[in-house]
Homo-oligomer: A and B are copies of this chain.
Amino acid sequence: MSGQKDRVFSTRRYPCEECPLRPLPLFREFETQELAFISKFKKGELAAAKGATVLVEGSHSAHLFTVLSGWGFRYKLLSDGRRQILNYVMPGDLIGLQGSIMGEMQHSIEALSDMLLCMFQRDELPELYQRHPELAYDITWLASREERMLDENLLSIGRRSALERAAYLIAFIADRAVGVGLNGKKPIEIPITQQHVADTLGLSLVHTNKTIRKLVERKLIVWKDGCEVTDAKGLRQLAGWEGLGEGKRPLI
């Protein structure tokens, strides 16, 4: 289900000044000075292969990361192996902050596809707070955003039916994905298995399969090596969800 190995550290820099993400309309403009600091803050890049564990629960990783490309997911395990996926991570997301701020990681992160990550040094975070209050504010902003997403997910798992839950999940991921330009072609393709969906929704694999089948019958999605979203509006409608309508956001 996961591999610890497959990690490749590359010191070769993807210079922040030529960041492929930053030009996207989703992200706010940054001062040259801020950019310079971030560039200095960045210690290198980490390539994680599909299936690799990027961060492990219980560890005290010295790093935190911003996703440059690829997909991943955050999860927790119960002692008997039951798994709950907490959220998905995609380009622009800051990961490992919890561990950096509070010490120990309380969740794991696994790569859903090959990923490229910007690496930052945990112990330089205080310096960032000292010297760049706006960036500090941005980090809090990102933490609040994660909290907001978790609130939504909790609402969904707690109070929506299986079908609504599935529709919400896919609509939610699709919405985020288009924001960061992950839809190369028209329909967004989400590289997940039905086991991931089950572990996200808190359902069994069998029932998840039957639920997804209903979404396919309704022509809201196509399932083919992952999920292709064909009718995002229909999904939102089924879930009774407005969409996340985010404005500009920071990118560390």
Which residues of chain A have a CB within 8 Å of any CB of chain B? 74, 76, 78-80, 82-84, 86, 97-98, 101-102, 106-107, 125-126, 129-130, 133-134, 136-137, 139-141, 143-148, 150-155, 157-160, 199-202, 240
Residue numbers in B under 8 Å from A155 (CB-CB): 76, 78, 84, 86
Can you list 25 residue pairs at the A/B interface with Cβ under 8 Å? Answer: A76-B151, A76-B152, A76-B155, A78-B160, A82-B159, A83-B159, A84-B158, A97-B140, A98-B144, A98-B147, A101-B137, A101-B144, A102-B148, A106-B151, A107-B151, A130-B133, A136-B140, A140-B140, A143-B144, A147-B147, A154-B157, A157-B157, A157-B158, A158-B200, A159-B202
**A150/B148 in contact, CB under 8 A:** no
**B154/A86 in contact, CB under 8 A:** yes
Residue numbers in B under 8 Å from A80 (CB-CB): 240
**B133/A137 in contact, CB under 8 A:** no
| Central interface residue in A101, A106, A107, A199, by most chain B CB within 10 Å | A101
